[in-house]
Structure 1
Amino acid sequence: MQTALLIEQTLNGLQFGVMLFLMAAGLTLIFGVMGLINLAHGSLYMVGAFACATVAAWTGSFWLGLVASLAAAAAAGAIVEITVIRRLYDRDHLDQVLATFALILVFSEGTRWLFGSFPLYLNIPPLLAGAVPIPGGAQYPLYRLAIIGVGILVAIGLYLLISRTRLGMRIRAGESDREMIGALGVDIRTLYTVVFALGAALAGLAGAMVGALQSVQVGMGEPVLILAFVVIVIGGIGSIKGALVGAILVGLIDTLGRFLLPAALAAFMGPSAAASIGAALASMLIYVFMALVLAIRPRGLFAAAG
């Protein structure tokens, strides 16, 4: 049973890491191409979750809700980029932080006005409602495995997009020398809007998928946003590969730490003290790991060139 529990917690860590990757990939794309610190990225995660829950409740189809989450988050991202973010590119990072923090308040109060303060609930689709056996005799939810699979497919898709397509070539060029590609005739404004909408869609996808595992409520994106920033700092700002590796590491360290530390401390102290101290130490592990990574590699594990 302990083997099955360890495997289950490892899979939970992978699932958590994949969700963080979907958030961090959008963040690192936006920062890498635009040099913009976007604190409102968690609000786009929330938009995707609310769009999915609302459309799924109206239509009875989780899949239509998933499509709606992508469309709503991408549209919200494009509107925000055109109306607000576009005015911040030449400002310093403090102005960007203040403006995008204001957007968090706007999104939160707007969502509360539209949907109220009570949480929404999103059901797992029947196709993915079962469980599959894992070594040790336990069962693992099929939906969580599907999240892992979707994250892997998104990572492959982003790699192909950035390395094999004309849009990806422009994104890579924008990371290196945005003035030069503007001089060569590339519409920088359109490129920025597309990249911002793509990052927003990834955040919305993460919110929709996680919405079936927890309640959908106002402010749900802020805790995840903090962890997403930790991920891109560990992986290297501007690196999709770094975002994937960093997200998986953070997901595994956080989940396994919460599982293993209380069990290890129980050998030296009472169960109640071990549980409370272990939980406190586990919550610190990812930040300790981030500090160690930055001490050895100040620009992250896979820092983008430039």
Structure 2
Amino acid sequence: MSSILIIEQILNGLQFGVMLFLMAAGLTLIFGVMGLINLAHGSLYMVGAFAAAAVAGWTGSFLLALAASLAAAALFGALIELTVIRRLYARDHLDQVLATFALILIFSEATRWVFGSFPLFLNIPEALSGTLTLPGGIEYSRYRLTIILIGLAVAVGLFLLISKTRVGMRIRAGENDREMIGALGVDISILYTLVFALGAALAGLSGALVGAIQSVEVGMGEPVLILAFVVIVIGGIGSIKGALAGAILVGLTDTLGRTMLPWLFAVFMDPAAASSVGSALASMLIYILMAGVLLFKPTGLFGSA
């Protein structure tokens, strides 16, 4: 296996990782601040993708499509927080799981009713199509490289928001002692709605960015949601830094595992058997990684006890 191929797969792993980070950052904020298990987070990812595909089809503008994904996901996130989620904060986690699972079904059927059952496609903008020559003569997709840069920029922005602003101070305080900041005059309801809308917007942005790589279809958010939960468990619930570290670890582990394990097994196995065994083991790697992290750090890499 050539070094160029390995570097390309590392970049692919980073791209996959930052996409997972956009999903997991909102999920870990919601869980960390509100203590809410939100299974409908994947549906907001789907909403962002469909909004982007629809607006891009109407206007031909990819930037407007990204703006639409942020706005639509944030709006739907705020609406379901106000109408459904707000009634679940004092309930146990089983009620939260059942209610947000019902939201998955509602969003899926509503999306199918509006857009139909056939997938939509979001074209990569002309300026980002093709490849870019990186040092070492590596040809890499401009669009995938842009996703990496956007994800890292969002990570820096979230870190600054949480650590350097008054809103971030309230979010951190709400995570540690929500009763106390309520007693100090902070409107907890507004804070929760803002956090939920922010998390939803990040999920929508992730869906829009990925929609230009794969098809936009009903149910696309559920597989990503599972990986996002793995990310926040590895990184530590409530930690943006942990979400970024966990997402990159998962992205690299999954991508490199799927590429390299079949090749490694082919050294001493029949190529067909090596491909089968390697692919099967690669699909388990991220869960093995999660188990290994929890064995030594039960709260995750950056979680608080």
| TM-score, normalisation: structure 2 | 0.99
Segments ≥4 residues shifted beyond 4 Å = none
Matches within 5 A, 1:185-204: 185-204=185-204
**2:243 matches 1:243:** yes
Deviation at 1:127, TM superposition (A): 1.1
Map 1:1-306; keep pairs closer than 5 Å. Answer: 2-135=2-135, 137-304=137-304
Percent identity, aligned pairs only, is: 77
| 1:46 Cα deviation from its structure 2 partner | 0.2
Greater CA drift, 264-273 or 43-52: 264-273
* Superimposed CA distance per residue, residues 30-55 of structure 1 (whole angstroms, 9 cap, x where no aligned partner): 00100000000000000000000000
Give deviations 1:57-77, integer Å, cap 9, x for gaps: 000111101000000000000
Separation in 2 of the partners of 1:134 and 1:276?
A: 33
**Deviation of residue 3 (structure 1)?**
1.1
Task: Provide the secondary structure at the position in 2 that maps to 1:140.
Answer: strand
Distance in 1 (CA, whole Å) between partners of 2:188 and 2:177 is: 11
**Partners in 1 of 2:215 and 2:118 — Cα distance?**
10
Aligned AA (2:81) = E
Q: Determine helix, strand or coil for the equivalent of 2:301.
A: coil
Alpha-carbon distance between aligned partners in 2 of 1:107 and 1:150, rounded to the nearest angstrom = 27
Q: Which runs of 5+ in 1 are unaligned?
A: none
Partner-residue secondary structure (3-state), 1:133: strand
- Measure, in 2, the Cα distance between the counterparts of 1:136 and 1:268: 31
- Cα deviation for residue 136 of structure 1 reads 5.1
CA contact (8 A) 1:262 1:274 kept: yes
Alignment size in residue pairs: 305
Q: Which moved more, 1:265-274 or 1:9-18?
A: 265-274
- Superposed displacement of residue 271, structure 1: 1.1
- The 8 Å contact of residues 24 and 228 in structure 1, kept in 2 or not, is answered as yes
Q: Distance in 2 between matches of 1:132 and 1:272?
A: 34
Do 1:24 and 1:231's aligned partners in 2 also have CA atoms closer than 8 Å? yes
Cα distance in structure 1, aligned partners of 2:287 and 2:135: 32
Q: What is the distance in 1 between the residues matched to 2:167 and 2:201?
A: 16
1-structure distance, mates of 2:304, 2:35: 13
2:140 alignment partner, SS class: strand
The aligned amino acid for 1:32 is G
* Superposition deviation, residue 135 in structure 1: 4.9
Deviations 1:210-240 (A, max 9, x none): 0000000000000000000000000000111
How many Å apart are 1:139 and its aligned residue?
A: 1.2
Change beyond 3 A, Cα 1:282–1:270: same
Partners in 1 of 2:297 and 2:66 — Cα distance?
Answer: 38
CA distance in 2: counterparts of 1:57 and 1:271, whole angstroms: 44
Distance in 1 (alpha carbons) for counterparts of 2:268 and 2:294: 32
Q: Is the 8 A contact 1:4 1:135 kept in 2?
A: no
Contact 1:25 1:199 in 2 (8 A): yes
**C-alpha displacement of 1:138:** 3.8
Alignment partners' CA distance in 1, 2:104 and 2:219: 9
> Once the two structures are superposed, what CA deviation does each residue of 1:159-198 show, in whole Å capped at 9, x if it has no partner?
0000111100000000010011011110100000000000
Secondary structure at 2:132's aligned position in 1? Answer: strand
- SS of the equivalent of 1:179 reads helix
Q: Tell me the SS of whatever aligns to 2:68.
A: helix
Q: How far apart are 1:133 and its partner, in Å?
A: 1.6
- Aligned letter for 1:116? G
User: Which residue type is aligned with residue 279 of structure 2?
Assistant: A
- Residue 130 of structure 1 and its aligned partner are, at CA, apart by 2.4
Seen in structure 2, the aligned counterparts of structure 1 residues 164 and 136 have a Cα distance that, compared at 3 Å, is closer
AA in 1 matched with 2:220: M
- Partner Cα separation in structure 2 for residue 29 and residue 223 of structure 1: 20
Secondary structure at 2:57's aligned position in 1?
helix
